């Protein structure tokens, strides 16, 4: 049994089936990529898993528990965090302050304790700072901790988003096009970093990405969607050689 099980999952918008009867398992501590042409249903799938959309049909199991239809904050507390296609940073906050925001998911101090600055709240603030600095160092952003997020280059902003997700200690991390807009060198460096952190921290990663070189080089397994349907799943070598995948994704050109 995988850490995540998706069973016969569907999402309809009126008469349009954005995701149709999709099923797959994700194993513990693997990088599982979801690819497909624009409009294939990849981001909709992420929105269903992370609770931003409710399924029309099917089930989502995480660590054996049925989380179908849970709200995003409940799913985040359960251990699933995500990034988005576009940056969602607090642009006028420092890098460190952005990272500390995510720590609220783990705070043990209640509202009253925080307002009255209790010892529990103070301890949690210290822990938030230590955890944030630890993750920023892992992401190579510790030297920029006092820089405003809006002043960071695009590649560093994308890395900061990943750092924010990691601060909350996820068991499963959903990365929605983490290297979009990066040049080839930045892409390779970021994907290497994701792989290194995934192994060091021991988390599971589901990746949606259009950069096929990155996907083929860093994925343990790949699932392909087309028009909301799963058309293939397997090792990168198997996907690369699948004629239906090549036709759907690149019109017959080689992946």
What's the whole-model pTM score? 0.87
- pLDDT tens track of the chain, all 255 residues? 689 999 999 999 988 999 999 999 999 999 999 999 888 999 999 999 999 999 999 999 999 999 999 999 899 989 999 998 777 788 999 999 999 887 765 544 444 455 556 666 677 678 889 999 999 999 999 999 999 999 999 899 999 999 999 998 899 999 999 988 888 888 999 999 999 999 988 999 999 988 888 899 999 999 999 999 999 999 999 999 999 898 876 554 555
- Determine how β-strand 16-26 pairs with β-strand 4-13: antiparallel
Half-sphere exposure of 38 (CA within 13 A, CB side): 1
Q: Is 180 inside a domain boundary?
A: yes
Single residue among 106, 136, 167 that ends a domain in this structure: 167
Read off the tokens for 109.
């101090």
Single residue among 119, 143, 167 that ends a domain in this structure: 167
Read off the tokens for 236.
């990168």
Q: Is 14 inside a domain boundary?
A: yes
Tell whether 163 and 179 lie within a shared domain: no
Residues 52 and 75: their CA atoms lie apart, in Å, by 10
Question: How far from each other are the two terminal CA atoms of the chain, in whole angstroms?
Answer: 31
Q: Is 107 inside a domain boundary?
A: yes
Given a contact cutoff of 8 angstroms between Cβ atoms, the answer to whether 221 and 190 are in contact is no
Domain boundaries, position 247 = 1-79+170-255
Number of domain units in the chain: 2
Task: Output DSSP code: residue 148.
Answer: B
CATH no. for residue 240?
Answer: 3.40.50.300
Single residue among 167, 196, 227 that ends a domain in this structure: 167
Task: Output DSSP code: residue 3.
Answer: S
- Scanning the structure block, which residue is given the tokens 């290497």? 192
Tell whether 129 and 240 lie within a shared domain: no
């Amino acid at each position: 049994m995988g850490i995540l099980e998706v069973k016969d999952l569907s999402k309809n918008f009126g008469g349009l089936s954005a995701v149709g009867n999709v099923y797959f398992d994700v194993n513990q501590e693997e990088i599982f990529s979801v690819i497909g042409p624009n409009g294939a249903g990849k981001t909709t799938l992420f929105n269903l898993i992370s609770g931003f959309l409710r399924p029309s049909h099917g089930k989502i199991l995480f660590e054996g528990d049925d989380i179908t239809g849970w709200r995003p904050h409940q799913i985040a507390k359960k251990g699933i965090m995500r990034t988005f296609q576009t940056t969602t940073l607090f642009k006028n906050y420092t890098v460190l302050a952005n990272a500390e925001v995510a720590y609220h998911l783990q705070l043990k101090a209640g509202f009253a304790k925080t307002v009255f600055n209790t010892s529990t709240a103070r301890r949690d603030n210290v822990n938030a700072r230590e955890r944030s600095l630890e993750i920023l160092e892992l992401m190579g952003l510790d030297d920029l901790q006092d820089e405003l997020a809006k002043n960071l280059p695009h590649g560093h902003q994308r890395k900061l988003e990943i750092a924010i997700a990691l601060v909350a200690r996820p068991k499963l991390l959903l990365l929605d096009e983490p290297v979009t807009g990066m040049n080839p060198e930045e892409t390779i460096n970021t994907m290497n970093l994701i792989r290194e952190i995934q192994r060091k921290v021991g988390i599971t990663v589901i990746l949606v990405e259009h950069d096929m070189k990155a996907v083929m080089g860093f994925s343990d397994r790949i699932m392909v969607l087309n028009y909301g349907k799963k058309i293939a799943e397997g090792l990168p070598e198997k996907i690369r050689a699948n004629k239906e995948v090549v036709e759907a994704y690149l019109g017959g050109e080689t992946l």
